[in-house]
Amino acid sequence: MTENLDTPSGNGVPGTKTVLGIDHLQVTFATDSGDVHAVKDVSLELKAGEVLAIVGESGSGKTVTAKTILGLLPETATSSGAVLINGTNIISLSPARLRQIRGRDVAMVFQEPSTALNPVFTVGWQIAEGIRAHSGQGGGKRVSAKEAKERAIDALRKVGIPDPEHRVNYYPHQFSGGQKQRVVIAAALALNPGLIVADEPTTALDVTVQAEILELLRDLRGQYGTSIVLITHNMGVVADLADRVVVMYQGDIVEEAPARKLFAEPKQDYTRQLLAAVPHLGRNSASEGLTERRHQGGEVLVEAKDLTIEYPGRLGTPAFKAVDGVSFTLSRGEVFGLVGESGSGKTTIGRAIAGLNRTTGGSLKVLGYEMLDLRERTFKPLRKDIGFVFQDPAASFNPQLTIGECIAEPMVIHTRPSEAQARKRVGELLESVQLPASYAGRYPHELSGGQRQRASLARALSLNPRLLIADEPTSALDVSVQAKVLELFRDIQEEFGFGCLFISHDLAVVDILSTWVGVLYKGKLVEQGIGSQVMGSPQHDYTRRLIASLPVPDPDEQARRREESRALLGL
């Protein structure tokens, strides 16, 4: 990147100095329902210039550990053990001393860049704020506003923001998602801390952007020898960046190993399970070995021809074309996987098929009904043949109704069964998605995320639909849970034989389920074909980039792919 700064080793090889040492850390939260032991016993060590990944499923204590490193736990938490940063124990520090350490010795990068930046201050101000908070400390000289800004510009330059002198006065919303994350990293770098704690720094980003950020982090480590604690649940990211991996489970460290070793020969059962659950592009593909499109003889459920969908602009702004001239068909029994980055129009297409969005051009025939002139009254009879599974299982249930009532609703509307019939059918449906029938009496919030998504599937299936639309049905779930839901999904699809539009931004997930895959880019369907072929030998430039950006959970393979993608992206 730019010229070397005043940092030590510049070759990406971990040094010997210990930057961070955690010793028997224990964190407990006091809550109404008793104490929550979020972190039970964590010990680890981090050398200068090393990247340590902490992985584990949701709630395993990753974030709490990260926050402890900066002393950011809320009042309700009590912690014991030691967290040593350059030899200073964070746990016993006074608030004032703690403030000195934060930002100077250790900095943090957050998951969601748009929320980590204050929308009402310029990025320059926010970066300078950290610099000035430390100015004059410990006898150092005060930093003037101008000087602070200079240093903010430097930091922005370091993270590759173009034209930083100018951009320093921009507000966060004037940056793209990836740039925002760069700004957050710049803010963390402003005082050249030896250690950066990054809590899921790429989870909110598209894969292509994620690849850039990972590249940046690697550069930082390489150029300035910054140590990084990388928290993530994405094994691909781990494989891409980490030197060493710590696996957490319910507040404990279950395994710690160098990255290569962990992926190659996981010791613990839990780690093995975790790795097995991670979808891996090219493995376990539904279209393995297919050479031509299946189910073509069957009834065509959805047929889109030059489909265009526009969102009206508000108050005079021109309409926004979210879907632009898309053509495809979906037949009975087929799983059509639709992939694309955020905002590419996937959801819009799915909603249009379900009659939730109006189409504005071209033709979209759903079960033979032309959606262009959609009338709720004439379309209603067809609705019993369409099921819909939403992304967020929590939000798709009416919090006031029990699971049973929710599942029975389609029946009540279309077939008006007796109460006993309905109850029986609900029980059957629950069992078919592997939930106990007794769950019918529970309220949505009394189920876990995975359970809720199963119930949501049961509801979608209640009238034996011919067509199912699943909009990112697993993206809100943990990998292990996702694996189970996907498996269930596949079984049920085989059993019921409905046609399915499966929407996801995760190529690997789509690959597991669908035989026919379409790639959407800025509202256009740039490529469609048999899953394994699209993934294996992408034709369109964008598809190629997409696939190249996707980190695979295997350090060696990922290193190879990285070289390839560098070449592809012209880096």
Partner 1 sequence: MTTLIEAPPEDSDGLLPAKKKPSGGGLGQYILIRFLLIFPTILILVTMVFFLMRITGDPITAAMGGRLPPDQLQQRITAAGYDRPILVQYFEYLGQLVTGNFGTTLSDNRKVTEMLGTYGSATLELSINALIVALLVGIPLGMLAAHRRDHVPDAVLRIFAILCYATPVFFAGLLLKLTFSVWLGWLPVAGRAKTSTELALTSLQAPTGIYWLDALRSGNMAALGDVMAHAVLPAVALGLLTAGIFLRLVRTNVIGTLGKDYVEAGRSRGVSEFRLVTKHAYKPALIPIITVMGLQIAVMLGGAVLTEKTFEWKGLGFQLATYLTARDYVAVQGIVVLLAVIVATTNFIVDVVAALIDPRVRY
Partner 2 sequence: MSTTEAPVPVANPRSSFFLRLPVVSHVRQSVGLQRGMLIMGLVLTAVFLLTALLAPFIAPYGFAQLSDGDGNFPAQQPPGGKHLLGTTVGGYDVLSRVMWGTQTALLVIIIAVVLSIFAGVILGLVSGYIGGWLDRILVVVADAIYAFPSLLLAIVMAIVISGGQSSLFGGVMAAAISITVVFIPQYFRVIRAETIRLKAEPFVESAKVVGASNLRIITRHIYRNATRTLPLIFTLNASEAILTLAALGFLGFGIEPSSASEWGFDLSKALADTTSGIWWTGVFPGLAIVWVVLGLTLVGESINDLNDPRLRGRKRANRKAPAASPAADAAPGPDTESSNP
Ligand X SMILES: Nc1ncnc2c1ncn2[C@@H]1O[C@H](COP(=O)(O)OP(=O)(O)OP(=O)(O)O)[C@@H](O)[C@H]1O
Applying CB under 8 A, which residues contact partner 1?
A: 70, 72, 95, 99-104, 107-108, 110, 112, 115-122, 126, 129-130, 133-134, 170-171, 173-174, 184, 187-188, 190, 313-317
Minimum CB separation of residue 164 from partner 1 in Å reads: 17
Nearest CB to ligand X, comparing residues 26 and 58: 58
Token pair listed for 129? 């704020």
Could you tell which of partner 2, Mg ion, ligand X, none binds residue 445, using a CB distance below 5 to 8 A set by kind? partner 2
Out of 20, 55, 62, 196, the residue judged to bind ligand X by CB under 6 A: 62
Contacted entry of ligand X, Mg ion, partner 1, none for residue 311, CB cut-off 5 to 8 Å set by kind: ligand X
| SS3 at position 328 | strand
Site residues for partner 2, window 444-473 (CB under 8 A)? 444-451, 456, 459, 463
347 lines the binding site for ligand X (CB under 6 A): yes
Is residue 28 near Mg ion by the rule CB under 5 A? no
SS (H, E, C) 403-445: HHHHHHHHHHHHCCCCHHHHHHHHHHHHHHCCCCHHHHHCCHH
343 contacts which partner out of partner 1, ligand X, Mg ion, none, CB within 5 to 8 A by kind? ligand X
Compare residues 276 and 319 and give the one whose CB is closer to ligand X: 319
Whether the Cβ atoms of residue 427 and residue 408 lie closer than 8 Å to each other? no
Task: Determine which residue in the list 22, 38, 469, 509 makes contact with ligand X, applying CB under 6 A.
Answer: 38
* Of positions 134, 295, 346, 545, contacts ligand X by CB under 6 A: 346
Give the C-alpha separation, 256 to 262, whole Å.
Answer: 8
- Integer Cα distance of 509 and 487 in angstroms: 11
Number of residues that bind partner 2 (CB under 8 A): 57
Min separation Cβ 411 and ligand X, Å: 29
Candidates 210, 347, 480, 532; binder of partner 2 (CB under 8 A) is 480
Contact region with ligand X (CB under 6 A), list: 58-66, 173-181, 360-368, 405-413: 58-66
* Per-residue H/E/C for 263-325: HHCCCCHHHHHHHHHCCCCCCCCCCCCCCCCCCCCCCEEEEEEEEEEEECCCCCCCCEEEEEE
Q: 44 burial class (0-12, 13-18, 19+ CB within 10 angstroms)? A: middle
User: Tokens 């759903």 — which residue?
Assistant: 366
The residue among 87 and 316 lying less far from partner 1, judged by its C-beta, is 316
- Which residue of 2, 33, 94, 317 would you call a contact of partner 2, by CB under 8 A? 33
Q: Is 63 in the site for ligand X (CB under 6 A)?
A: yes
List strands edge to edge, sheet with 106-109: 88-89, 77-85, 18-31, 34-47, 252-258, 244-249, 51-55, 227-231, 195-199, 106-109
Q: Which is nearer to Mg ion, 304 or 552 (CB)?
A: 304
Comparing CB distances to partner 1, the nearer of 153 and 430 is 153
- Asked whether position 505 contacts ligand X by CB under 6 A, the answer is yes
* 99-101-102-106 Cα dihedral, nearest 10 degrees: -170
Q: Which is nearer to ligand X, 311 or 379 (CB)?
A: 311
Please identify, using beta-carbon distances, which residue of 35 and 564 lies nearer to partner 2.
35
- The residue written with tokens 């694996």 in the block is 483
- Identify the residue among 397, 489, 502, 542 touching partner 2 (CB under 8 A): 397
Number of Cβ atoms within 10 Å of the Cβ of 358: 15
Q: Which of 536, 431, 428, 433 is CA-nearest to residue 487?
A: 433
Secondary structure of residue 64 in the 3-state scheme: helix
- Chain centroid to Cα 282, Å, comes to 20
516's contact among partner 1, ligand X, partner 2, none, with CB below 5 to 8 A by partner kind, is: none
Beta bridge partners, 310, equal 321
Helix (H, G, I), strand (E, B) or coil at 32: coil
The only residue of 23, 112, 219, 409 in contact with partner 2, by rule CB under 8 A: 409
Tell me: does residue 316 bind ligand X (CB under 6 A). no
- Residue in 2, 3, 6, 32 binding partner 2, rule: CB under 8 A: 32
DSSP for 243-255?
A: SEEEEEETTEEEE
Q: Tokens for 412? A: 């009540």
Could you give the CA distance from residue 161 to residue 174 in angstroms, rounded to a whole number? Answer: 12
N residues, the chain? 571
Interface of this chain with ligand X, residues 65 to 84, rule: CB under 6 A: 74, 76
Helices marked H in 43-90: 62-70
Could you list the residues that contact Mg ion (CB under 5 A)?
A: 63, 347
Could you list the residues that contact ligand X (CB under 6 A)?
A: 29, 31, 36, 38, 56, 58-64, 74, 76, 233, 311, 320, 322, 340, 342-348, 505
Could you list the residues that contact partner 2 (CB under 8 A)?
A: 29-33, 57-60, 74-76, 250, 351, 354-356, 380, 383-384, 386-388, 390-392, 394-402, 406, 409-410, 413-414, 441, 443-451, 456, 459, 463, 478, 480-481, 484
